[in-house]
Structure 1
Amino acid sequence: MTTPNLKAEDLCPEKTGLKREMKSRHLMMISIGGTIGTGLFMGAGQVISDAGPVGAILAFIFGGLVMYLALLCLGELAVAMPVAGSFQTYALQFISPGVGFTVGWIYWINWAVCIAANFTAAGIIMAGWFPDVSIWIWCAVFAVLVAVLNLISVKVYGETEFWFAGIKVAAIIGFILAGAGLMFGLLGHEGAIGFSNYHSNEAIFPHGGWALFLTMINVVYSFQGSELVGIAAGECENPGKNVPKVIKGIVMRIILFYVLAIAVLAATIPYQEAGLLESPFAYVFGRIGIPLAKDIMSFVVLTSALSASNSALYVCSRLLWSMAKDKHAPSWLGKLNSGGVPVNGVLLTLVLSGLSLLTSEYAADTVYLWLMSSVGLTGCLIWIVIAWCQVKFRQRFIEMGGKLETLVFKTPMYPALPILSVILNICIILSLAFIEEQRIVLYTGLPVVGLIYLYYVFVHSKTEASRQNAA
Structure 2
Amino acid sequence: MDPKKEKGQLQRSMKSRHLFMMSLGGVIGTGLFLGSGLTINQAGPGGAIAAYLFGGLVMYLVMVCLGELSVSMPVTGSFQTYATKYIGPGTGFTIGWMYWFSWATTIGLEFTAAGMLMKRWFPDVPIWLWCLVFIVLLFTLNVLSVKKFAEAEFWFAGIKVFTVIVFILIGGAAMFGFVGIKEDSAPLFTNFTNDGGLFPNGFSAIFMTMMTVVFAFQGAEVVGFAAGESEAPEKALPKAIRSIIFRVLIFYVLAIVVLAALIPWRKAGVVQSPFIAVFDSVGIPFAADIMNLVILTALLSVGNSGLYVCSRMLWSLSQNGMAPSVFGKLNSRGVPFNAVLFSLLFSLVSLLTSVVSAETVFVVLLSVNGLAGTISWMTIALSQYNFRRQFIKTGGDVKELKYKVPLFPLIPILCLVLCGISILFMAFDPAQRSSLVVGLGFMGTCYLYYFIRYGKSIKDKIILKEDHGEVTTPKSRV
State the TM-score, normalized to the length of structure 2: 0.91
Cα distance in 2, alignment partners of residues 398 and 371 from structure 1? 40
Which of the numbers 314, 325, 344 marks the counterpart of 1:320? 314
CA pair 356-42 structure 1, distance change in 2 beyond 3 A:
farther
Cα distance in 2, alignment partners of residues 185 and 348 from structure 1? 53
Cα distance in 2, alignment partners of residues 425 and 306 from structure 1? 28
Map 1:159-308 → 2, pairs under 5 A:
159-189=151-181, 190=183, 191-200=185-194, 202-308=196-302
Aligned residues: 457
Cα distance in 1, alignment partners of residues 277 and 121 from structure 2? 18
DSSP 3-state at the match of 2:246: helix
Q: Does structure 2 retain, via aligned residues, the 8 Å contact 1:324–1:330? A: yes
1:418 matched to 2:412: yes
CA pair 379-213 structure 1, distance change in 2 beyond 3 A:
same
Which of the numbers 2, 14, 24 marks the counterpart of 2:16? 24
* Residue 95 (structure 1) shift: 0.8
1:127 matched to 2:123: no
Letter of the structure 2 residue corresponding to residue 128 of structure 1: R
CA pair 371-218 structure 1, distance change in 2 beyond 3 A:
farther
Cα distance in 2, alignment partners of residues 372 and 446 from structure 1? 12
Q: Does structure 1 retain, via aligned residues, the 8 Å contact 2:103–2:306? A: yes
Letter of the structure 1 residue corresponding to residue 169 of structure 2: L
Cα distance in 2, alignment partners of residues 413 and 241 from structure 1? 22
Cα distance in 2, alignment partners of residues 114 and 70 from structure 1? 22
Map 1:37-52 → 2, pairs under 5 A:
37-52=29-44
CA pair 204-35 structure 1, distance change in 2 beyond 3 A:
same
1:47-94 residue CA offsets vs partner (Å, 9 max, x unmatched): 001111111111111110001001111111000000100100001111
More helix by share: 1
* Residue 16 (structure 1) shift: 5.8
Q: Does structure 2 retain, via aligned residues, the 8 Å contact 1:41–1:281? A: yes
Cα distance in 2, alignment partners of residues 29 and 93 from structure 1? 29
1:200-223 residue CA offsets vs partner (Å, 9 max, x unmatched): 362221111111001011101110
RMSD value, Cα: 2.5
DSSP 3-state at the match of 2:330: coil
DSSP 3-state at the match of 2:199: coil
* Residue 359 (structure 1) shift: 7.0
* Residue 24 (structure 1) shift: 1.4
* Residue 470 (structure 1) shift: 13
Which of the numbers 65, 68, 71 marks the counterpart of 2:63? 71
CA pair 43-470 structure 1, distance change in 2 beyond 3 A:
closer
DSSP 3-state at the match of 1:349: helix
Structure 1 unmatched runs, 5+: 1-14
Structure 2 unmatched runs, 5+: 1-6, 462-472
User: Which stretch of structure 1 is more off in the superposition, 31-40 or 455-464?
Assistant: 455-464
Which of the numbers 110, 122, 131 marks the counterpart of 1:139? 131
DSSP 3-state at the match of 2:124: coil
CA pair 279-26 structure 1, distance change in 2 beyond 3 A:
same
DSSP 3-state at the match of 2:120: helix
CA pair 352-409 structure 1, distance change in 2 beyond 3 A:
same
User: Which stretch of structure 1 is more off in the superposition, 89-98 or 398-407?
Assistant: 398-407
Which of the numbers 424, 432, 446 marks the counterpart of 1:452? 446
Cα distance in 1, alignment partners of residues 354 and 148 from structure 2? 29
Map 1:9-20 → 2, pairs under 5 A:
17-20=9-12
Matching residue of 1:55: 47
Matching residue of 2:467: none
CA pair 359-183 structure 1, distance change in 2 beyond 3 A:
farther
